[in-house]
């Protein structure tokens, strides 16, 4: 059993070296703790023991550790315009030895490293262990739940749409029920479809029900200018989320 209070203190100490008066730094700080909560709820949904739940919580706490550096240097969360924040998170933790500030079993370090490295990648490798796969899927789901929540509020992360048509490649990927690839995105409307397509990469029933029950997709739609353009995508996404009911 990990001492998570000490881990929360160590995380807060690290973040305090950045300017929390900046909206996007504060956003990532709050995002982190919401993702921790969602990771814990996913664990509870299939009765993982305390040891696994604590590890999932620590992975969630550290999954975006590189975002604070990224925003401070580049003023963007765009990995293509700065660095891959999953890879850089691993570097900060294990090359710069920040991980030494956190309570973690030695045998679980590889699991944490893997989950953080791949939490933002399009796909997981096929050669992961059972526990690496489990914790990678938990953080990927927890992160996506909060990303959709954040856009549904439309306060800091704006749902900005324009008059351009949705690109054919984006439409093709979406209606295959696949996450839209960043390289396919050509305009702001494509970006909204890519956001909605996050639902196609969810792993757990809790995650799907959370998004449906909280009406995140409907709220995102309500913020768009050209609602008719997006309705079929929202309908398809909700159909996908309900298909195993």
DSSP letter string over 82-117? S--HHHHHHIIIIIS-GGGGS---GGGHHHHHHHHH
Task: Kindly report the length of the chain.
Answer: 245
* pLDDT given for residue 216 in this prediction: 98
Task: Give the ranges where the chain is alpha helix by DSSP (H).
Answer: 4-15, 23-45, 50-62, 65-74, 85-90, 109-118, 130-153, 168-174, 188-196, 205-213, 216-222, 227-242
Asked if residue 130 has pLDDT above 80, the reply is yes
Q: What is the mean pLDDT of the chain?
A: 96
Q: What is the mean pLDDT of residues 212-221?
A: 97
* pLDDT tens track for 106-128: 999 999 999 999 999 999 999 99
Identify which has the larger pLDDT, 158 or 23. 23
Hunting for tokens 């990771």 — which residue is that? 39
Give the DSSP letter of residue 201: G
* pLDDT given for residue 245 in this prediction: 66
Q: What is the mean pLDDT of residues 148-164?
A: 88
Question: CB under 8 Å to 222, separation ≥6 — which residues?
Answer: none
* pLDDT tens track for 183-193: 999 999 999 99
Asked if residue 158 has pLDDT above 90, the reply is no
* Residue 17 dihedral angles phi and psi, to the nearest 5°: -80, -5
Going by C-alpha positions, the residue among 124, 137, 126 that lies closest to residue 60 is 137
Hunting for tokens 């029933």 — which residue is that? 205
Q: What is the mean pLDDT of residues 81-101?
A: 98
Q: What are the structural domains of the chain?
A: 1-155 (1.10.3210.10), 158-245 (no CATH)
Q: What is the mean pLDDT of residues 170-179?
A: 97
Q: How far is CA 37 from CA 75, 107, 145, 220, in A?
A: 27, 24, 11, 22
């Amino acid at each position: 059993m990990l001492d998570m209070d000490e881990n929360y203190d160590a995380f807060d100490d690290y973040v305090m070296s950045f300017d929390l008066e900046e909206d996007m730094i504060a956003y990532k700080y709050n995002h982190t703790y919401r993702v921790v909560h969602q990771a814990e709820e996913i664990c509870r949904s299939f009765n993982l023991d305390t040891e696994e739940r604590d590890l999932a919580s620590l992975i969630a706490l550290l999954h975006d550790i590189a975002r604070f550096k990224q925003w401070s240097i580049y003023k963007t969360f765009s990995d293509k315009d700065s660095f891959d924040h999953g890879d850089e998170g691993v570097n900060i933790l294990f090359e710069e030895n920040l991980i030494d500030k956190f309570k973690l079993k030695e045998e679980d370090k590889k699991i944490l490293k893997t989950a953080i490295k791949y939490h933002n990648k399009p796909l997981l490798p096929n050669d992961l262990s059972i526990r690496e796969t489990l914790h990678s899927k938990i953080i990927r789901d927890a992160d996506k739940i909060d990303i959709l929540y954040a856009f549904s509020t439309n306060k800091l992360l704006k749902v900005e749409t324009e008059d351009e048509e949705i690109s054919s490649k984006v439409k093709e990927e979406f209606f295959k029920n696949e996450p839209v690839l960043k390289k396919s995105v050509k305009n702001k409307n494509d970006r909204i479809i890519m956001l909605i397509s996050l639902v196609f990469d969810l792993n757990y029933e809790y995650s799907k029900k959370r998004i449906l029950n909280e009406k995140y997709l409907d709220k995102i739609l309500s913020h768009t200018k050209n609602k008719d353009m997006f309705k079929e995508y929202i309908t398809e996404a909700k159909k996908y989320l309900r298909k195993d009911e």
